[in-house]
Amino acid sequence: MTILDLDLFFDDGERKGPPSVKVYEAKASTALSKSSLPGLDFCLNPYIGCEHGCIYCFAPDVVRRQRETWSSEVGYRSNIPVLLNRELRTKRGTIGIGTVTDPYQPLERLLLLTRKCLLEIARHDNPISILTKSDLVLRDIELIRSTARPEVGVTITTMDADLASRIEPKASPPVARVETLRRLADSGIECYAMVGPVLPFLEQQEIRELLGAIAATGCKRVMADRLRMRPGLEMAFLTANIVRSKGVLSDPYRAEMSVRLVRDECTRMGMRFETAF
Ligand code: SF4
């Protein structure tokens, strides 16, 4: 399939332009892979690569893909709903959707692959846990509600829209993510905010503002994850002028204090605090 073919897809009657990434079809051999993540029995990733393009993304290292093309070339596993239909007859357990790529990245608006997977899952009683940085998840809110024990996490790392646009360029802006969390909380779906990574260069006031915005949605649970360092990450932040001096990202004391502040603010605001992984 070519990029031009994709331009023919419609979403809610609205014509969308072609995707800004190179798109390729990738046939999957299995839909559900065994998970080693806590609380998840299986992983389901309809896409390979992720257009959101987060500067701190460590997913390509986890799945041994090229970092250079991770956010510019996205594969879609076209046969995954069919495989899922077959595998769900025997595989029982909690399914993590979007463990290494965002299941609601921009391409999903055109391809509806995550939605097709949810349609299959809704016919069975497997609990699901979705993690996203996109308000597109709201498109499927009723479908998600129809599955057995759904949970949705929304990642929000900062309320600074300019900073977010530089570190998570194609994800929904922070205000839209907060609104997504509010609508999920209102709908009664079990939801949580993923503050991950906790950015060690944020000022105390910025962390308080972030947690305050999350608390105001009615969400009662926050999961925090530390920034995972990798070669070249510090230089990427320096080059983008997000931090100005070396060592800010890798200072363990600073990282620890930031996570502690998230925890303390959660306690103060009456939200449950957890650490990821
Ligand atoms: S949304 Fe997740 S998988 Fe996608 S680029 Fe960002 S960190 Fe990576």
Going residue by residue through the chain, which has 277 residues, state the pLDDT in tens, using 9 for 90 and above.
444 445 544 445 454 566 789 999 999 999 999 999 999 999 999 999 999 999 999 999 999 999 999 999 999 999 999 999 999 999 999 999 999 999 999 999 999 999 999 999 999 999 999 999 999 999 999 999 999 999 999 999 999 999 999 999 999 999 999 999 999 999 999 999 999 999 999 999 999 999 999 999 999 999 999 999 988 999 999 999 999 888 999 999 999 999 999 999 999 999 999 999 7
Q: Give φ, ψ of 64 to 5 degrees.
A: 55, 55
Ligand 1 pocket member 54 (CB < 6 A): yes
Contact 273, 263 (CB under 8 A): yes
Residue 262 lies in a domain: no
Question: 198: burial class by Cβ within 10 Å (0-12, 13-18, 19+)?
Answer: buried
Residue 218 lies in a domain: no
Task: Compute the distance from residue 99 Cα to the ligand 1 centre, in Å.
Answer: 9
Residue 139 lies in a domain: yes
What is the C-alpha separation between 173 and 101, in angstroms, rounded?
18
Residue 38 CA, chain-centre distance (Å), reads 17
Single pTM value for the model = 0.93
State the total domains in the chain.
Answer: 1
Task: Compute the distance from residue 57 Cα to the ligand 1 centre, in Å.
Answer: 5
Question: 73: burial class by Cβ within 10 Å (0-12, 13-18, 19+)?
Answer: middle
Q: Which one-letter DSSP state was computed for residue 147?
A: S
Residue 226 lies in a domain: no
Domain that holds residue 88: 20-148
Residue 67 lies in a domain: yes
Residue 32 lies in a domain: yes
Looking at ligand 1, which atom is closest to the CA of residue 133? 1
